[in-house]
Amino acid sequence: MTDLYLQDWRAWTPHREAAGESRLDTQDKPVGKAVPSMLRRRLNLIGRAVCDMLATLDPETNRVVLHASRHGDGERTLEMLYGLNEGEPLSPARFGLSVHNATAGVYSIASGNRCSQQAIAASGSEWAALIAEARGYLADDQSSLLLVFSDQPVPQRFAAYTPTALSAAVALRVDSQPTGGAQRLVETMTPTGDSTLQPLDIIDWLMGSRQRVACPISRRGWQLEPVRS
């Protein structure tokens, strides 16, 4: 199995205290400074946060981006469907920003990154799918990747049908080889179940309030270990 080494990370959520952690942004409204204003206005809050985090983690703009989200911009998508049901015309621009890879696409345009940009949805197993895809890219001679995991609450009328979620996004730079200060991502088997991992869980894990995270749907768990010199 290909080893993954966490080199750096950034995260955004207004639902946690930073407690001196500079890598966590807790602003209610992310700035979105990495994206020109004409593109920025098209993004929701999570999209702005993600673009800023990617720009910080990859100033060379030469890394593959894997972006996992269970619902994406579900509010925008569902509002378009309601509009169609009422006979309203469909906006091509609005539709283009509702698709699952919209944020990665805007980041690619703004940054000039022409590497692969992959969007992932996995019915509650997004983190497990993200790690599996990352191992595949690293095994295929990619030396460094950007992993993004983000989500937000679904519109209220659908809240009863999905797990409760809070707005959060986290981005990680992972490599196939360790460098100074890197941590090795250790994967273990875990009992089956039906709970889900959300971006806020990963943020808590990176902040040290959780020793490990687990996705019982995929029967896998993860923890970080320092790299011994």
Task: Classify 77 as helix, strand or coil.
Answer: helix
- With CA atoms as reference, report the closest residue to 12 among 166, 125, 213: 166
pLDDT tens digits, one per residue of 25-61: 999 999 999 999 888 988 989 999 999 999 999 999 9
Average pLDDT value for residue range 7-23: 96
Tell me what the pLDDT averaged over the chain comes to: 90
| Secondary structure element (H or E) that encloses residue 156, with its range | none
pLDDT classification of 112: cutoffs 50, 70, 90: very high
For the cut 80, the answer to whether the pLDDT of residue 118 exceeds it is: yes
pLDDT at residue number 180: 83
> Is 111:34 a contact under the CB 8 Å cutoff?
yes
Q: Tell me how crowded residue 86 is: count the other CB atoms within 10 A of its CB.
A: 7
Placement of tokens 């200060």 in the chain: 181
Of 213 and 75, which is predicted with more confidence? 213
pTM of the predicted protein model:
0.92
pLDDT at residue number 162: 79
